[in-house]
Amino acid sequence: MARLIRLRNRGNPKTAASQLRGGIIMGIGMALTEETLFDERRGRIMNPSLAEYHVPVNMDVPHIEIVYTGIPDEHTPLGARGIGEIGITGAAAAVANAVFNATGKRIRDLPITLDKLL
Protein backbone atom coordinates (compact mmCIF):
# COMPACT_ATOMS: atom_id res chain seq x y z
CA MET A 1 0.00 0.00 0.00
CA ALA A 2 2.85 2.42 0.77
CA ARG A 3 4.20 1.96 -2.77
CA LEU A 4 0.76 2.76 -4.22
CA ILE A 5 0.60 5.96 -2.16
CA ARG A 6 3.97 7.14 -3.43
CA LEU A 7 3.11 6.44 -7.04
CA ARG A 8 -0.35 7.98 -6.72
CA ASN A 9 1.07 11.17 -5.19
CA ARG A 10 3.56 11.58 -8.03
CA GLY A 11 0.89 10.69 -10.57
CA ASN A 12 1.07 13.83 -12.67
CA PRO A 13 3.91 16.16 -11.69
CA LYS A 14 3.52 18.22 -14.89
CA THR A 15 -0.08 19.09 -14.04
CA ALA A 16 0.81 19.85 -10.42
CA ALA A 17 3.68 22.13 -11.46
CA SER A 18 1.45 23.87 -13.99
CA GLN A 19 -1.20 24.55 -11.33
CA LEU A 20 1.40 25.97 -8.97
CA ARG A 21 2.98 28.09 -11.73
CA GLY A 22 -0.46 29.45 -12.67
CA GLY A 23 -1.11 30.51 -9.09
CA ILE A 24 2.24 32.31 -8.94
CA ILE A 25 1.45 34.15 -12.16
CA MET A 26 -1.94 35.15 -10.76
CA GLY A 27 -0.15 36.54 -7.68
CA ILE A 28 2.23 38.55 -9.87
CA GLY A 29 -0.78 39.93 -11.74
CA MET A 30 -2.51 40.82 -8.49
CA ALA A 31 0.59 42.67 -7.31
CA LEU A 32 1.40 44.60 -10.49
CA THR A 33 -1.38 44.88 -13.06
CA GLU A 34 -4.83 43.65 -12.09
CA GLU A 35 -7.22 46.33 -10.88
CA THR A 36 -10.97 46.71 -11.14
CA LEU A 37 -11.83 50.35 -11.80
CA PHE A 38 -15.18 51.72 -10.59
CA ASP A 39 -17.14 54.79 -11.68
CA GLU A 40 -17.99 56.32 -8.30
CA ARG A 41 -20.91 58.36 -9.70
CA ARG A 42 -22.72 55.54 -11.47
CA GLY A 43 -21.41 52.54 -9.54
CA ARG A 44 -20.31 50.78 -12.72
CA ILE A 45 -17.19 48.76 -13.43
CA MET A 46 -15.08 50.68 -15.93
CA ASN A 47 -13.01 47.70 -17.17
CA PRO A 48 -15.57 44.86 -17.42
CA SER A 49 -13.81 42.80 -20.09
CA LEU A 50 -10.35 41.32 -20.59
CA ALA A 51 -9.70 43.97 -23.24
CA GLU A 52 -9.45 46.62 -20.50
CA TYR A 53 -8.47 44.41 -17.55
CA HIS A 54 -4.72 43.83 -17.65
CA VAL A 55 -3.48 40.37 -16.74
CA PRO A 56 0.10 39.09 -17.09
CA VAL A 57 0.90 37.39 -20.37
CA ASN A 58 3.76 35.08 -21.30
CA MET A 59 6.28 37.88 -21.93
CA ASP A 60 5.47 39.57 -18.58
CA VAL A 61 6.50 36.60 -16.45
CA PRO A 62 10.06 35.33 -15.94
CA HIS A 63 10.94 31.64 -15.97
CA ILE A 64 9.48 30.00 -12.88
CA GLU A 65 11.03 26.74 -11.70
CA ILE A 66 8.71 24.60 -9.59
CA VAL A 67 10.27 22.27 -7.01
CA TYR A 68 8.20 20.24 -4.56
CA THR A 69 8.94 17.21 -2.42
CA GLY A 70 6.34 14.70 -3.55
CA ILE A 71 6.01 13.42 0.02
CA PRO A 72 2.55 11.87 0.54
CA ASP A 73 0.17 13.46 3.05
CA GLU A 74 -0.37 10.92 5.82
CA HIS A 75 -3.72 12.48 6.79
CA THR A 76 -5.52 11.98 3.45
CA PRO A 77 -6.68 8.92 1.55
CA LEU A 78 -3.98 7.65 -0.83
CA GLY A 79 -1.61 10.38 0.39
CA ALA A 80 -2.90 12.92 -2.11
CA ARG A 81 -2.06 16.61 -1.69
CA GLY A 82 -4.07 19.46 -3.11
CA ILE A 83 -1.93 21.97 -4.93
CA GLY A 84 -4.58 24.01 -6.73
CA GLU A 85 -3.72 27.69 -6.76
CA ILE A 86 -1.75 27.77 -3.52
CA GLY A 87 1.03 29.58 -5.37
CA ILE A 88 -1.01 32.80 -5.31
CA THR A 89 -0.77 32.97 -1.51
CA GLY A 90 2.66 34.52 -1.11
CA ALA A 91 3.41 35.82 -4.60
CA ALA A 92 1.88 39.29 -4.25
CA ALA A 93 3.53 39.76 -0.84
CA ALA A 94 6.90 38.68 -2.28
CA VAL A 95 6.59 41.22 -5.11
CA ALA A 96 5.58 43.96 -2.65
CA ASN A 97 8.58 43.13 -0.44
CA ALA A 98 10.90 43.21 -3.47
CA VAL A 99 9.55 46.66 -4.39
CA PHE A 100 10.10 47.80 -0.80
CA ASN A 101 13.67 46.49 -0.79
CA ALA A 102 14.40 48.20 -4.11
CA THR A 103 12.71 51.56 -3.42
CA GLY A 104 12.36 51.86 0.36
CA LYS A 105 8.65 52.62 -0.06
CA ARG A 106 6.07 50.21 1.36
CA ILE A 107 2.97 49.96 -0.85
CA ARG A 108 0.02 48.30 0.86
CA ASP A 109 -2.65 48.94 -1.77
CA LEU A 110 -2.49 46.61 -4.77
CA PRO A 111 -1.70 46.81 -7.61
CA ILE A 112 1.65 48.50 -7.17
CA THR A 113 1.78 51.19 -9.81
CA LEU A 114 4.24 53.95 -10.64
CA ASP A 115 1.99 56.71 -9.28
CA LYS A 116 1.93 55.00 -5.87
CA LEU A 117 5.73 54.88 -5.81
CA LEU A 118 6.20 58.57 -6.64
Q: What is the pTM of this model?
A: 0.78
Reported confidence tier of residue 71, pLDDT bands at 50, 70, 90: confident
The torsion of the CA quartet 118, 61, 69, 83, rounded to 10 degrees, works out to 90
Alpha helices (H) in 1-118, listed in sequence order: 2-9, 13-32, 88-103, 114-117
Average pLDDT over residues 58-79: 83
pLDDT surpassing 50 at residue 28: yes
Q: What is the rounded distance in angstroms from the CA atom of residue 83 to the CA atom of residue 89?
A: 12
Which is catalytic among the residues 34, 35, 65, 85?
85
Predicted confidence at residue 94, as pLDDT, reads 94
Query: For 71-90, what is the mean pLDDT?
Result: 80
CA distance 45 to 40: 9
85 among known catalytic residues: yes
Q: Which domains does the chain have, with CATH numbers?
A: 2-117 (3.30.365.10)
Residue 8 has pLDDT above 70, yes or no: no
pLDDT recorded at residue 11: 55
Task: Among 4-8, 21-25, 85-89, 92-96, name the one with the lowest average pLDDT.
Answer: 4-8
Residue range 77-95: average pLDDT? Answer: 83
